[in-house]
């Protein structure tokens, strides 16, 4: 066999080897692509399943709350079971007025304004705005202290809680500055009555002072949410206050108890101001 024939044979074998390697490379690439597609498909299935589970959990929670609210409605009536958000002082008077205690010939809108002003005057007379301002300063003094532990009813991480707390402190201090710079007592009363003012925060603080002094990392909310509005009954010198909170998990009961106590104390404080003949409370 000549050298030329040998070289030709090697070339042919070399070409065949390259074809074989190329074919194997294509097979491996195809296999990896197929596996990659399978993984992508599996990932999509997992995400879809995760969404379905989340939706199921959410629907389950909604369904449980719906059934509980229906049960409350059957026992105590639709009005009792409704939710209600207190966003201004007049909303508190609205809840008290539903007891029928303000049966007078006067125009109801004038009556509610008069009682709302009475609440606002009570806050100013007791110097509650300054007391809450001082409480905010106390929170700032404890900024690096142990009071920055997680709230028991919040699952966020500590830095988020610190940020939320400082933002709320700033908001309350700005409201206090706006209040004390009003040019007249009428302007201050109007600001306290408004939804933009600190009226509800001040009432929450005034009605629960000991709680907030014992918990310098806690501040009153801007609004007050009644999950179950409940009702108020006033007869002679006695008042029975009923409110509710719907929770679907046992671990939430402690938080619910704290929320209910704050709401009950707010309504008790307000009734003491606008219906002074009431001396006994059943909460």
Q: Which residue has the tokens 């990932």?
A: 43
Torsion angle, alpha carbons of 63, 66, 72, 73, to 10: -140
At 183-240, the pLDDT tens digits run 999 999 999 999 999 999 999 999 999 999 888 778 999 999 998 888 999 988 999 9
Tell me, yes or no, whether 29 and 90 share the same domain.
no
Tell me, yes or no, whether 231 and 277 share the same domain.
yes
Identify the domain boundary among 25, 41, 76: 76
Q: Would you say residue 98 has pLDDT above 70?
A: yes
Identify the domain boundary among 47, 76, 105: 76
Identify the domain boundary among 30, 46, 76: 76
At 241-280, the pLDDT tens digits run 999 887 777 777 888 888 899 999 999 999 999 999 999 9
> Average per-residue pLDDT in the chain?
78
In angstroms, the CA 9 to CA 6 distance is 5
Tell me, yes or no, whether 89 and 44 share the same domain.
no
**pTM (two decimals):** 0.71
Tell me, yes or no, whether 260 and 120 share the same domain.
yes
**What are the residues facing 281 on neighbouring strands?**
239
Tell me, yes or no, whether 65 and 88 share the same domain.
no
Torsion angle, alpha carbons of 22, 23, 27, 28, to 10: -30
Tell me, yes or no, whether 100 and 187 share the same domain.
yes
Tell me, yes or no, whether 137 and 49 share the same domain.
no
Tell me, yes or no, whether 159 and 141 share the same domain.
yes
Angle between helices 185-193 and 158-180 (to 10 degrees): 150
In this prediction, residue 121 has a pLDDT band, given cuts at 50, 70 and 90, of very high
User: What is the model's pLDDT at position 35?
Assistant: 60
Q: What is the mean pLDDT of residues 19-46?
A: 61
Angle between helices 108-125 and 185-193 (to 10 degrees): 110
Tell me, yes or no, whether 142 and 267 share the same domain.
yes
Q: Which domain, by its residues, includes 219?
A: 77-282
Tell me, yes or no, whether 143 and 277 share the same domain.
yes
Tell me, yes or no, whether 83 and 203 share the same domain.
yes
In this prediction, residue 102 has a pLDDT band, given cuts at 50, 70 and 90, of confident
User: What is the model's pLDDT at position 253?
Assistant: 80
Tell me, yes or no, whether 185 and 56 share the same domain.
no
Q: What is the mean pLDDT of residues 33-46?
A: 62
Number of domains the chain is built from: 2
């Amino acid at each position: 066999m000549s050298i030329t024939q040998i070289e030709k044979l090697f070339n042919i074998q070399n070409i065949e080897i390259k074809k074989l390697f190329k074919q194997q490379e294509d097979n491996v690439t195809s296999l990896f692509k197929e596996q990659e597609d399978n993984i992508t498909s599996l990932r999509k299935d997992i995400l879809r399943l995760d969404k379905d589970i989340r939706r199921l959990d959410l629907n389950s929670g909604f369904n449980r709350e719906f059934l509980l609210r229906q049960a409350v409605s059957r026992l105590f009536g639709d009005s009792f079971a409704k939710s209600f958000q207190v966003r201004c002082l007049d909303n508190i008077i609205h809840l008290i007025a539903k007891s029928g205690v303000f049966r007078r010939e006067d125009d109801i809108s004038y009556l509610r304004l008069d009682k709302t002003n009475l609440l606002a005057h009570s806050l100013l007379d007791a110097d509650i705005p300054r007391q809450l301002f001082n409480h905010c300063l106390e929170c700032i003094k404890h900024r690096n202290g142990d009071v920055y532990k997680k709230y028991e009813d919040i699952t966020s991480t500590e830095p988020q809680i610190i940020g939320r707390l400082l933002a709320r402190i700033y908001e309350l201090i700005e409201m206090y500055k706006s209040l004390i710079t009003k040019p007249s007592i009428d302007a201050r009363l109007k600001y306290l009555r408004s939804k933009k003012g600190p009226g509800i925060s001040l009432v929450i603080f005034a009605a629960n002072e000991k709680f907030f002094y014992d918990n310098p990392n806690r501040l009153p909310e801007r609004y007050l949410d009644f999950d179950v509005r409940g009702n108020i009954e006033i007869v002679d010198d006695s008042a029975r206050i009923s409110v509710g909170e719907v929770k679907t998990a046992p671990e939430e009961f402690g938080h619910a108890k704290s929320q209910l106590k704050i709401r009950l104390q707010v309504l008790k404080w307000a009734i003491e101001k606008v219906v002074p003949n009431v001396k006994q409370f059943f909460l």
